[in-house]
Structure formats: C-alpha cells, structure tokens
Chain A
C-alpha cells in the first residue's frame, strides 16, 4: 500500500471498508482489509498516519497524531512525525491512541488511553480504561490490566480477528455508505 498519498486527503486502499460517518482528517493512509466503523476518528494533525491492513477500528475510537503539548501548531521548523500502525490491530470502542508506533496484533481495549511516548510492539493488550502514558517500549505479548495497570506477559499473542473482519466487511456496506477507495474499483455504494 505504498502509494504516494495526496496531502490533505485520505488514501484508502481497495478492500478497506471505511464508513462515511467516520471522521478522517489530514494525511491518512489506510491499508486493505481494514474496517473503520462509523464515528471513529482518525486525525492527522501534526503529521501523516499510516495504518496497515487487517485493522479493526471501532466506534468512537480516536487515533490522533497531535502536536506535543508545548509546541504551538504554527511553529516553524517542526518536523511532521509519521504515526505508523501495523497489521491486525484492534482499537476497541472509545479508546484513544496517540502512540506514534504500534506494531502488529495488538488489542487496545475500550476506553484505554495511550500517550504520545508509548511504543507498542506486537501482541500487546492494553486493558479497558487503562491509561498508559509512560515513555517506554512495551515488550511483546504484554497484558496491561486492572485499575493499577498491572502487567503480565502472556504466552501467546491475541488471535487476529479474521472472522470478525470478514463479517463486518460483508455487513457494514449493507447499512452504511462507504468512503471511496483510491485504487481499483470503488466499493459500490448501496442505498
């Protein structure tokens, strides 16, 4: 999906299912087989966002590449940093992610909050309502759970949600209008 992205526009690969009610602002690239639910928000303010394939971004999830707090948006000389999201990740309902680098097969559960300085590797699960805003790289297969954000390591990574993705890719176009994809034929819009 490495195609030149038009600045200021969303670049949605063929095979991705992105509902029209979702809000995508800025320079966002979405890979194939990714499902973006209505009311999800992907905002690329301070730099582009590249989302891989097979991701599931549920309602009211917020993926935002924002400016660091002490820098005004108009400052010159600030390099736009790219936010990269790998494959097979799940962003559950209501989560907020500002992490600049997310690997593969992660699950960010409902209402979790990832700060700007966290880097998720692969197979991590950030539990519901857990706020992770430390400046660190979370090792692989870590589970963060509980009100105190306890951690443990699990022995196997979470399974990719292929069944769910297939189901959604069939059902969502029946009830929502889709955003147009870039390459190939656009997904037919049904009433």
Chain B
C-alpha cells in the first residue's frame, strides 16, 4: 500500500498509450473498460469551483464573473496564508448621546502566520464581520474594459466572416471546422494574438476592411490607440542616495500576486480575495465514462525482511476491499516477458490460489462471529485477519548492484462489477458476473545488505 513517506514501493503497470508504472494511490479504475487508468490516459474536465478555505461551491458562470475569486475569504498579501477576522472592542460614542461612550466591536483582518494585519496598510477597522472589505480599484479598469469590449466585437466579426466564407466558398484548404477555432477566439475575448493563428492560405483579414453583415446593427466601438509619451516622470533626486528600508520593500512574489498594482512598498500591499480551486472530473478516454477513484480489489503491502545475495522470504499483505470472497492467483513473469524490464531478482510466488475473505464492516464489533475456516498452507500464508492475508514470496536477488532490488509478477484476481449497468442485450447475464483481471506488479524491496 502506498504510504505518505514511501509512495513508490509497489508499482502497477498501466496499459495506456504509454506504459506507466505508478503506485495504486495515483491510479484510477474504469468500471466499464475494467482497466486501470493513470492520470495521463485520462481527460480532465472542470467539474466545479470551490474556495479552499470556506469550501463554498460556485457555479462556473459565477466564478467567471468574480474572476475565480471567493467573495468572503482573503489572502494575506505578505505570506499568502488565509486571513482571519479578529474583533476588538473600541470605545465609540453612542449615536444617540455623543457624550457617553459604549464598547463597540471593530473588526480587522489578521494573518496567523506572519502577523500581518489590515491596520498595517492603513485599512480602517470595519464594523461588520464580513462583507465590509473592499479591494482597491484599479485605475485602468475603464480603459481595459473598453479594450475588451472592442476586441470582443472584433472577434465576433471575424467569426461571422469565417462562417460566411466557409459556407460560400467551401475550398478544400480549409480543413478545420470553424467551430473549434472560433470558439476559442470568442470565448477568450478574442485578443489580437488570435490573428497569428492564421492558417496558411487563408486571407488575413485586416481590421479596417471588415464589413458588417446585413441585418446586424452593432454599435461601433472605437478605441483610441495608446499614446506614447515623450516625457516620463523623473526619478526622485535622492533615488540613489536614500538608504533602503528593507522591510518596506516587497518581494517579487508579493508584487506579482497583485498584477494590477505591483506595489513596490509593503505599506501598499492590500489583501486580495482568495483564489478558487477546481474540482476535476476525470473521463476515461476510451469509453468516455467518468472514472471512479480507484476501486480496486486487492492491494499489496510489503514488509520486507533482510536481504542478502541469497534466497530470502518477503512477507506481503493483500487486502480485499469488497465484501465478497476474492480469489487471487500470482503468476511469475516468464522469460522474455516484454513488460518485465525492471526486475533485478528472481521471484518464486506461491502457486496455489489465495482466497481472501470479504470485508465485513461489522466484524470488529461482532464477538460471536465464527472465524471462517480456510485451509491455509503455513508455508505460504503467514497470517489471516478478516479481509487481509499475509503470504510469503521467495526472492533471490540476481544482481549485486547498488540500486533497489525489484521484483515483478502478475496478479490475477476476480472482480465483480457491481456498479456496471445490466446490459439488456445478453440473455442469461448474471448481474454479478466475475471477470478475471490481470495486473502486472512491481515491488521495490530496498537495497541489498551486503
């Protein structure tokens, strides 16, 4: 089993486009193809957005509107930790009677890690616990919005042009479907860089030569081109002689996390709303179904013994996560097996079939349960504990090199796909039909002891 500190001791081979060997905790299982999949043979999709600190789920449209930021949570501009709201009591004059003062709660933001507070940048304490904090406005927002609108309109025009051309001419040198290209153009607000993706042979549409389609009366948005200035603001006179106040200088990371302002001084670092994270949904590329997080029948846990250049016994554990009995057979790799490239030792696996009891959730609590009677060969099976079994394999390290001793074999077990839909086409299809799955496993047993 993969643990946090030793993730790569037991590797499974995945038959994808590339042969990938990785540990079971990073693999997924497709119930429909009945195969293991790794992250590389799987297509990702954005499922939902959520905030990592308040765990609020947001639909994608709302997330786009809020620029993928959470409305309630803030990040410390200094150390990027999550900010927490703290309250103090301050005496404030009562609104009815200015001569008396009462204790009112004032809230400020503080970081638990670097002790930054909102008072450090001069943000006044607010009287409401949440919702009172505003991000400072970008002075260039208006210009940017206008530019975006203009280019959006431009992209739309281009799309219409292309549609028109495609329908009108149907030349063979325009192989790409228009939708794939122009959707990108429109959805990403058609920045001017899309013009670079002109296919060879297609005419370059110039900005000035666009004409509106009949029937459309879009408002013409004109933008002023950016003006180049001759005179720049001069540097202050003591720029070279003034000693640096190091705590006041922001680091590059702090500066670039706020691309609107990029403040050079720490007293202008304002907190930003927290970025949302994405929950991915993974799809099997072959059958286009959603994948489960690995739902696999057996796992191997390795507890190796001392190893010499001689034969030694290694104790492995198999755990059965399903509730039914599973039968497991281990087969050593044959000579010349194309998948067996990494092993540095010969392995003798038990030839008999191992039977694993099902997982019984109530077994811990049920004291009267009779232990199931499996006839276990004591040479093979070391122990048996509810749905776990420990067994021995014999390993003879073949090479006397410095690396780890690796051993590979195939494991074959039966798998009942309880979640697959019952196919109505087959007549006598038992709903819990067992399929036999074979996986190629590699174990890394550690270095040789000389």
Contacts and interface: CB of A to CB of B under 8 A. Distances in A.
Interface of A: 125, 127, 142-143, 145-146, 150-156, 158
Contacts of B114: 127, 143, 145-146, 150, 152
A151 B116 CA distance: 11
Given A151-B247, A152-B247, A153-B247, A145 B113 contact: yes
A172 B120 CA distance: 36
Nearest to A153: B247
B10 interface: no
A127 B116 contact: no
A152 B250 CA distance: 10
A106 to B, nearest CB: 12
Which 6 pairs, one residue from A and one from B, show the smallest C-beta to C-beta distance? A153-B247, A145-B114, A143-B115, A155-B120, A152-B247, A154-B115
**Interface extent on B, as a size class?**
10 to 19
B247 A145 contact: no
B255 to A, nearest CB: 14
A155 B117 CA distance: 9
Contacts, number: 32
B266 interface: yes
A154 B79 contact: no
Nearest to A151: B247
28 contacts: A125-B115, A127-B113, A127-B114, A142-B247, A143-B114, A143-B115, A145-B113, A145-B114, A145-B115, A146-B79, A146-B113, A146-B114, A150-B79, A150-B114, A151-B247, A152-B78, A152-B114, A152-B247, A152-B266, A154-B115, A154-B116, A154-B117, A154-B120, A155-B117, A155-B119, A155-B120, A156-B119, A158-B115
B240 to A, nearest CB: 24
A111 B293 CA distance: 38
A145 B119 contact: no
A145 B117 contact: no
Nearest to A145: B114
A90 to B, nearest CB: 13
B234 to A, nearest CB: 30
A105 B345 CA distance: 63
B301 to A, nearest CB: 32
A137 to B, nearest CB: 15
Contacts of A152: 78, 114, 116, 247, 266
Contacts of A145: 79, 113-115
Contacts of B247: 142, 151-153
Contacts of A146: 79, 113-114
B81 to A, nearest CB: 9
A145 B115 CA distance: 9
Contacts of A153: 247
A163 B114 CA distance: 23
Contacts of B79: 145-146, 150
Nearest to B114: A145
Nearest to A139: B247
- Residue among A150, A154, A156, A158 with the highest chain B CB neighbour number at 10 A: A154
Contacts of A142: 247
A142 B119 CA distance: 16
Contacts of A154: 115-117, 120
Nearest to B248: A153
Interface string B116-127: 110110000000
A172 B266 CA distance: 42
Given A145-B113, A152-B116, A156-B119, 6 more contacts: A143-B114, A143-B115, A145-B114, A152-B114, A154-B120, A158-B115
Contacts of A127: 113-114
A145 B78 CA distance: 11
B327 to A, nearest CB: 50
B84 to A, nearest CB: 15
Interface string B70-89: 00000000110000000000
A29 to B, nearest CB: 30
Contacts of B116: 152, 154
Interface in B164-221: none
Contacts of B119: 155-156
A153 to B, nearest CB: 4
A127 B79 CA distance: 13
Contacts of B120: 154-155
A125 B117 CA distance: 14
Contacts of A151: 247
Contacts of B78: 152
Contacts of B266: 152
